[in-house]
Amino acid sequence: MKIIMLGAPGAGKGTQAKKIAAKYDIPHISTGDIFRANIKNGTELGKKAKTFMDQGLLVPDELVVDLVVDRVNQEDCSKGYVLDGFPRTIPQAEALDAALAKMNQKMDYAINVEVPDENIVQRMSGRRACVDCGTTYHIVYAPTKQEGICDNCGGNLILRDDDKPETVQKRLGVYHDQTQPLIEYYTDKNILVEVDGTIDINDVFAEIVKVLGE
Ligand code: ADP
Ligand code: ADP
Ligand code: ZN
């Protein structure tokens, strides 16, 4: 099962992708997490990506596409995977489709988690992310058992620099310009699934499971 998560920054893509990955036993591939790991490790890719990420801009397509295509060709992806944060532009989607077509494969679902802009800024200010494993929490809607400590791995939680309100506004603009057109792209390919992202986290997941199957 090959799945794409679509939605604005903060819509809950990562939250749902982690639940899908656990239930269906497929890898969760988050390009944001991959970039943040590269930044943390001081790689060349990380240095390049950081200048864009800090401004709330997208990292250029050529720095993203090969990385994802290489990743989905790894052995653990043979039964499928869930892509979170990729594709984010039409050229990225076309490049993914072209790479899959070479292997006689195609994506099965593009799940659009729908949350209006009004809810996003507030949601992002409460988001906390684990510096070690990338799991995200929310101070009100998805709190950790112990404040500031990741339930999953014990790592420290931070408010991401790019989750400050000014940068969130910028990212929302970038989302509407460059990423939202993918909704039509995947509608045309007959794989778009719409879910309401404003309801409780477990209720969103139940909607997704109805589509993917038990
Ligand atoms: P969010 O969880 O808020 O949607 P991500 O963690 O997915 O954010 O991405 C953080 C930042 O990483 C983005 O604002 C962008 O700069 C960069 N990024 C992640 N994925 C991509 C991608 N597929 N194409 C371009 N830039 C990306
Ligand atoms: P994305 O990957 O789309 O940027 P996240 O999964 O990181 O989004 O979620 C953004 C923030 O909103 C996190 O703090 C997360 O805990 C919280 N969140 C996710 N889904 C919901 C929901 N259905 N209701 C309330 N808060 C949510
Ligand atoms: Zn963690």
Q: What is the pLDDT of residues 48-69, one digit of tens each?
A: 999 999 999 999 999 999 999 9
In the prediction, which pLDDT does 156 show?
97
What is the distance in angstroms between the CA of the first residue and the CA of the last residue of the chain? 13
In the chain, the domains with their CATH numbers are 2-115+168-212 (3.40.50.300)
Residue whose Cα lies nearest atom 19 of ligand 1: it is 32
Read off the pLDDT of each residue in 16-37 and give the average, rounded to a whole number.
97
Which residue among the candidates 48, 50, 71, 160 is catalytic per the annotation? 160
Whether residue 171 has its Cβ less than 6 Å from ligand 1: yes
Residues 147 and 150: their CA atoms lie apart, in Å, by 8
Residues 184 and 120: their CA atoms lie apart, in Å, by 22
Whether residue 137 has its Cβ less than 6 Å from ligand 2: yes
Burial readout 139-151 (b: 16 or more C-beta within 10 A, e: otherwise): eeebebeeeeebe
Q: How far is the CA of 171 from the centre of ligand 1 (A)?
A: 9
Whether residue 134 has its Cβ less than 6 Å from ligand 2: no
- The bound ligand whose nearest atom lies closest to the alpha carbon of 85 is 1
Mean pLDDT of the chain: 96
Which atom of ligand 1 is the closest one to the Cα of 92? 23
Whether residue 31 has its Cβ less than 6 Å from ligand 1: yes
Q: What is the pLDDT of residues 113-166, one digit of tens each?
A: 999 999 998 899 999 999 999 899 999 999 999 999 999 999 999 999 899 999
Contacts of 193 (CB under 8 A, 6+ apart): 109, 110, 111, 112, 208, 211
Read off the pLDDT of each residue in 42-51 and give the average, rounded to a whole number.
97
